[in-house]
A = this chain, B = another copy of it.
Amino acid sequence: MTIIFHELVGADSSRPFSPHCWKTAMSLAHKGLPFERRQVCFTKVPEVEGGVSRTVPVIRDGSQVIADSFMIAAYLEETHPDKPSLFGGEGGQAMARFIESWTNTVLHGAMRDIALMDIHNALAPADQAYFRTSREARMGMTLEQVAEGRAKALEALPATLLPLRTTLKRQPWIGGSSPLFADYIVFGALQWVRLTAGISLVETADPVGDWFERCLDLHDGLGRSAPAAV
């Protein structure tokens, strides 16, 4: 049965930009499961599947409704143990939580400092007011003030990416010899900026840039099918 996948979208439906939704798109493709994308804008998220979650991704698989990208990956792993693993065992599932924590607290912060205004500008007009109010309250400054720090945030990025770069000098994927959910967690953050700001954050000569290009190629170019912002 086709899985229904609810994902966030801004003004341009060809560029769904949510890092968390990309984790789920890649997870579904990794398991080789057919899925149908249903796009929703920020302010309509509370109506998805009867209001099951304040955020997307949300999937519906028959009678099962699951929210949260990590919970969805764990659900897919449990219901399809015969398909390629997303975690590579129990230890991998536990350690993917550390990689998620690093991505959410360190990498997403860096991405936000670089691309917050671009993300705002990519939203549907109805969503922009909500986004501005909620983000300015969270960050304690205006979007314009955040944007003033962009050059400095870009300058700090190579150091921020050092744990990732060191890992990818040793092995082709965070998951080892082949990609796992941990790769999709980090991919989501860079894809988010690619689709909103369009700037190439890392050169392909850098192990991180090379890995990101290989992520874009995975699953018949699923990630690359959404064009970078111009």
Contacts and interface: CB of A to CB of B under 8 A. Distances in A.
A174 B98 contact: yes
Interface in A128-145: none
A206 to B, nearest CB: 15
B91 A180 contact: yes
Interface size class on chain A is 20 to 34
Nearest to A175: B94
Contacts of A85: 91
Contacts of A96: 91, 95
Number of copies of this kind of chain in the complex = 2
Contacts of A225: none
Interface stretch (A11-19, A26-34, A39-47, A101-109): A101-109
Contacts of A162: 101, 105-106
Interface in A55-114: 85, 87-99, 101-102, 104-106
Given A105-B163, A106-B163, A162-B105, A182 B90 contact: no
A182 B177 CA distance: 19
A105 B176 contact: no
Given A104-B166, A106-B163, A163-B106, A182 B98 contact: yes
Given A89-B90, A91-B176, A93-B176, 13 more contacts: A85-B91, A87-B91, A88-B91, A90-B92, A91-B96, A94-B175, A95-B180, A97-B167, A101-B167, A102-B163, A105-B163, A105-B166, A106-B162
16 contacts: A87-B89, A87-B91, A88-B94, A90-B176, A91-B91, A91-B176, A91-B180, A92-B92, A95-B95, A95-B99, A98-B99, A101-B163, A102-B163, A104-B166, A105-B163, A105-B166
